A and B are shown apart, each in its own frame.
Chain A
Amino acid sequence: MASLLQPDRVVYLVRGEKRIRAPLSQLYFCRYCSELRSLECVSHEVDSHYCPSCLENMPSAEAKLKKNRCANCFDCPCCMHTLSTRATNIPAPLPDDPTKTAMKKAYYLACGFCRWTSRDVGMADKSVASGGWQEPENPSTQRINKLIEYYQQLAHREKQDRDRKKLARRRQCMPLAFSEKYGLGTRLQRQRSGAPISSLSGLSLKEGEDQKEITIEPAQALDEVEPLPEDCYTRPISLPEVTTLRQRLLQPDFQPAGASQLHPRHKHLLMKRSLRCRKCEHNLSKPEFNPTSIKFKIQLVAVSYIPEVRIMSIPNLRNMKESQVLLTLTNPVENITHVTLAPCEDEDPDDINSTAKVMVPSKELVLAGKDAAAEYDELAEPQDFQDDPDVVAFRKSNKIGFFIRVIPQKDEDADVTVSFKIRHDFRNLAAPVRPSEEGADTAAVAAEAIWLTHHVELRLGPLAP
């Protein structure tokens, strides 16, 4: 029965640039536009970088310098788990007296999952617990850096040319009489003599610095390739020595073929992102800066604004026979919500997946507000809603269970899917309250209610055999 609570059983339709169907728990609600938003109709921005194992925060500039890798933590090259530092006691000769030996601590890296140790690749034990481990140098680093510098300069120069051409065109359009009239022309005329215009003055300084041209030698193609070893075909392969493709490609600099050359690499940083609605540019989700905190500064998720439909129990569904399905509706806000359900029209463009006809209750359902203190308040009288027992099965604080009637139309192996529209009132507490004409206190003015309609699809499961 827990499979009925799976999130992908009930999906809501998001009308953005793309029509996306997603469960309510994965959607956001922009309360300024009063619309549902999914991850694909918001813009993602990077907030901060942090290391997943030592939880160290890093500003973006520093992260870029370190190539988005943590300085302290390492990844196992064999299974990509985090490496831990272990210590052993080894007898080492004292520096003062070579004949006596004392126990010194030596540190090595070890993986708890696949039991890889740094001694497997021949890395010597270090005498400091952290900071002693170095990644191997890439032999082509210098050439790559030089190429990057050259291309950066080239791109910079092209950008300057483009800007100059744009302004040159604009200058030709302006008539000379116009420029003299307003006196601005004299300044422009002065600057027309060949020096760059003030708007590009920032760039001109840089050009002065980069006067030295960076030249690169073109890459040389070699005719001869290193020949394969002679016993390439006859030598038996020892599988533990060969690296897997995944292990190899995680180190694109070296791509070692042998397991004895797999060196550990620094751990990748993860990032915290904030989401922004594309239409109104308001933030939908903004996490806290601290990597150890899971809370949000701004959290406009759909489950805290939109009533959620869940499937509670399904009887045996038979083709062309009417059955009653029990659904629940939960009210996430603190005031009373009125919900009306409506079946989809015949030619509804959103209704592409349903394989059954559905009859929803026509009366308006009233949901009580979510009251956090209700369970502790013994004296509170239960609110009396006149519930039709044919429609409402039970009522419990801010949740009701109601029946819908389903007639499966297709006799296929696929799941029976139904869809309907749900219309509820939403009080937007974020929008500025219009001052009432009497100029009375604004606290008494309730926010206006607007009606929102959502398209909901439910996947009820296969037909009974």
Chain B
Amino acid sequence: MSDAKQIMAQKSAKIAAGAVVCVESEIRGDVTIGARTVVHPKARIIAEAGPIIIGEGNLIEEQALIINSYPENIMPDTEGMEPKTMTIGTNNVFEVGCVSQALKIGDNNVIESKSDLGRNVILTSGCIIGACCQVNTCEVVPENTVVYGSNCIRRVQSEKPQSQTLQLDFLMKILPNYHHLKKTVKGNNTPVRN
């Protein structure tokens, strides 16, 4: 059993060409990062209980924590534990200090500073989780939902949030001037996004 686990677990992250991942960021476990994604220093992507697949054009800012962790009541060495893959789509923004454990995140979402996503939340596209909001319900958040306020009230906005292409271009030019980047490692197969 442990041999099979060792084969499945890969120690290095697969970083596609065109992604900017700073050396000071902490990436542990089986993580795939798509092209045009920017990972700031001090961001943490930890794949403990399964692989993490991050799509293209994402922006992961400082002190953001994307973690695929074991559910609380299950010990790491329990038999029969299927590793679940965490999938993150394209053009998402993970602002400073947010914590995301959601297993499935779609496209064009914005997860604002210090917000907290639980493991059972599924974000579709265009959602904005406001600053310091905690969403740990077991649900699929509908498209274009905005969660805001100290009571986490919600409303639906009429259009998806603006894409951060300008910001991404700027960062991809500037960050290499000041930070060392992790080397790109080509993946064996393109990750399947569902």
Enumerate chain A interface residues (CB-CB to B < 8 A): 78-79, 113-117, 119-120, 240, 259
**Measured between alpha carbons, how far is A183 from B161 in the docked complex, in Å?**
86
Cross-chain pairs A/B with CB under 8 angstroms, 13 sampled: A79-B149, A113-B130, A113-B148, A114-B155, A115-B128, A115-B148, A115-B157, A116-B155, A117-B157, A117-B158, A119-B159, A240-B154, A240-B156
Q: A115-B148, A115-B157 are in contact. List 19 more A-B contacts (CB 8 A).
A: A78-B155, A79-B148, A113-B130, A113-B149, A114-B146, A114-B148, A114-B149, A116-B155, A116-B157, A117-B158, A117-B159, A119-B158, A119-B159, A120-B157, A120-B158, A240-B154, A240-B155, A240-B156, A259-B155
Interface residues of B in 152-180 (CB under 8 A from A): 154-159, 161
**Measured between alpha carbons, how far is A159 from B158 in the docked complex, in Å?**
56
Report B-chain residues with C-beta under 8 Å of the C-beta of A78: 155
Report B-chain residues with C-beta under 8 Å of the C-beta of A120: 157-158
Query: What residue in chain A is nearest B157 (Cβ atoms)?
Result: A115
Q: Which of A78, A113, A115, A119 counts the most B-chain CB atoms under 10 A from its CB?
A: A115
Report B-chain residues with C-beta under 8 Å of the C-beta of A115: 128, 146, 148, 157, 161
Report B-chain residues with C-beta under 8 Å of the C-beta of A79: 148-149
Closest 6 CB pairs of A and B: A240-B156, A114-B148, A115-B146, A120-B158, A115-B157, A240-B155
Query: What residue in chain A is nearest B156 (Cβ atoms)?
Result: A240
Count residues on chain B whose CB falls below 8 Å from chain A CBs. Answer: 12
Query: What residue in chain B is nearest A119 (Cβ atoms)?
Result: B158
**Measured between alpha carbons, how far is A79 from B146 in the docked complex, in Å?**
12
In the assembled complex, how far is the CB of residue B133 from the closest CB belonging to chain A, in whole angstroms? Answer: 12
Query: What residue in chain B is nearest A239 (Cβ atoms)?
Result: B154
Report A-chain residues with C-beta under 8 Å of the C-beta of B158: 117, 119-120
Query: What residue in chain B is nearest A240 (Cβ atoms)?
Result: B156
Query: What residue in chain B is nearest A121 (Cβ atoms)?
Result: B158
**Measured between alpha carbons, how far is A120 from B158 in the docked complex, in Å?**
6
**Measured between alpha carbons, how far is A79 from B157 in the docked complex, in Å?**
13
Report A-chain residues with C-beta under 8 Å of the C-beta of B155: 78, 114, 116, 240, 259
In the assembled complex, how far is the CB of residue B119 from the closest CB belonging to chain A, in whole angstroms? Answer: 26
**Measured between alpha carbons, how far is A115 from B148 in the docked complex, in Å?**
9
Count contacts between A and B, CB distance < 8 Å: 28
Query: What residue in chain B is nearest A120 (Cβ atoms)?
Result: B158
**Measured between alpha carbons, how far is A114 from B128 in the docked complex, in Å?**
9
In the assembled complex, how far is the CB of residue B41 from the closest CB belonging to chain A, in whole angstroms? Answer: 27
**Measured between alpha carbons, how far is A240 from B154 in the docked complex, in Å?**
8
Query: What residue in chain B is nearest A238 (Cβ atoms)?
Result: B156
Query: What residue in chain B is nearest A86 (Cβ atoms)?
Result: B162
Interface residues of B in 37-87 (CB under 8 A from A): none
**Measured between alpha carbons, how far is A293 from B125 in the docked complex, in Å?**
46
**Measured between alpha carbons, how far is A284 from B156 in the docked complex, in Å?**
50
In the assembled complex, how far is the CB of residue B141 from the closest CB belonging to chain A, in whole angstroms? Answer: 13
**Measured between alpha carbons, how far is A79 from B150 in the docked complex, in Å?**
12
Report B-chain residues with C-beta under 8 Å of the C-beta of A117: 157-159
Report A-chain residues with C-beta under 8 Å of the C-beta of B149: 79, 113-114
In the assembled complex, how far is the CB of residue A233 from the closest CB belonging to chain B, in whole angstroms? Answer: 24
In the assembled complex, how far is the CB of residue B68 from the closest CB belonging to chain A, in whole angstroms? Answer: 29
Report A-chain residues with C-beta under 8 Å of the C-beta of B154: 240
**Measured between alpha carbons, how far is A367 from B99 in the docked complex, in Å?**
53
**Measured between alpha carbons, how far is A348 from B189 in the docked complex, in Å?**
87
Report B-chain residues with C-beta under 8 Å of the C-beta of A240: 154-156
In the assembled complex, how far is the CB of residue A83 from the closest CB belonging to chain B, in whole angstroms? Answer: 14
Report A-chain residues with C-beta under 8 Å of the C-beta of B128: 115
Report B-chain residues with C-beta under 8 Å of the C-beta of A259: 155
Q: Interface readout for B122-151 with A: 1 if CB under 8 Å, 0 if not? A: 000000101000000000000000101100
Q: Which of A114, A116, A119 counts the most B-chain CB atoms under 10 A from its CB?
A: A114
Query: What residue in chain B is nearest A113 (Cβ atoms)?
Result: B148
In the assembled complex, how far is the CB of residue A148 from the closest CB belonging to chain B, in whole angstroms? Answer: 37
In the assembled complex, how far is the CB of residue B167 from the closest CB belonging to chain A, in whole angstroms? Answer: 16
**Measured between alpha carbons, how far is A113 from B133 in the docked complex, in Å?**
12
In the assembled complex, how far is the CB of residue B93 from the closest CB belonging to chain A, in whole angstroms? Answer: 13
**Measured between alpha carbons, how far is A201 from B73 in the docked complex, in Å?**
89
**Measured between alpha carbons, how far is A79 from B148 in the docked complex, in Å?**
9
In the assembled complex, how far is the CB of residue B188 from the closest CB belonging to chain A, in whole angstroms? Answer: 40
**Measured between alpha carbons, how far is A259 from B146 in the docked complex, in Å?**
15
Query: What residue in chain A is nearest B149 (Cβ atoms)?
Result: A79
**Measured between alpha carbons, how far is A240 from B155 in the docked complex, in Å?**
6
In the assembled complex, how far is the CB of residue A454 from the closest CB belonging to chain B, in whole angstroms? Answer: 39
Report A-chain residues with C-beta under 8 Å of the C-beta of B157: 115-117, 120
Report A-chain residues with C-beta under 8 Å of the C-beta of B156: 240
Report A-chain residues with C-beta under 8 Å of the C-beta of B130: 113
**Measured between alpha carbons, how far is A408 from B130 in the docked complex, in Å?**
49
Query: What residue in chain B is nearest A114 (Cβ atoms)?
Result: B148
Q: Which of B146, B149, B159 counts the most A-chain CB atoms under 10 A from its CB?
A: B146
**Measured between alpha carbons, how far is A120 from B156 in the docked complex, in Å?**
10
In the assembled complex, how far is the CB of residue A237 from the closest CB belonging to chain B, in whole angstroms? Answer: 14
**Measured between alpha carbons, how far is A116 from B161 in the docked complex, in Å?**
11
**Measured between alpha carbons, how far is A113 from B130 in the docked complex, in Å?**
8
**Measured between alpha carbons, how far is A230 from B159 in the docked complex, in Å?**
32
**Measured between alpha carbons, how far is A215 from B136 in the docked complex, in Å?**
63
In the assembled complex, how far is the CB of residue A239 from the closest CB belonging to chain B, in whole angstroms? Answer: 9
In the assembled complex, how far is the CB of residue B44 from the closest CB belonging to chain A, in whole angstroms? Answer: 27
**Measured between alpha carbons, how far is A120 from B128 in the docked complex, in Å?**
16
In the assembled complex, how far is the CB of residue B128 from the closest CB belonging to chain A, in whole angstroms? Answer: 6
In the assembled complex, how far is the CB of residue A163 from the closest CB belonging to chain B, in whole angstroms? Answer: 55
Query: What residue in chain A is nearest B148 (Cβ atoms)?
Result: A114
**Measured between alpha carbons, how far is A264 from B50 in the docked complex, in Å?**
48
In the assembled complex, how far is the CB of residue A78 from the closest CB belonging to chain B, in whole angstroms? Answer: 6
**Measured between alpha carbons, how far is A259 from B158 in the docked complex, in Å?**
12
Query: What residue in chain B is nearest A81 (Cβ atoms)?
Result: B148
In the assembled complex, how far is the CB of residue B9 from the closest CB belonging to chain A, in whole angstroms? Answer: 40
**Measured between alpha carbons, how far is A327 from B148 in the docked complex, in Å?**
44
In the assembled complex, how far is the CB of residue B16 from the closest CB belonging to chain A, in whole angstroms? Answer: 31
**Measured between alpha carbons, how far is A240 from B159 in the docked complex, in Å?**
14
**Measured between alpha carbons, how far is A149 from B155 in the docked complex, in Å?**
43
**Measured between alpha carbons, how far is A114 from B157 in the docked complex, in Å?**
9
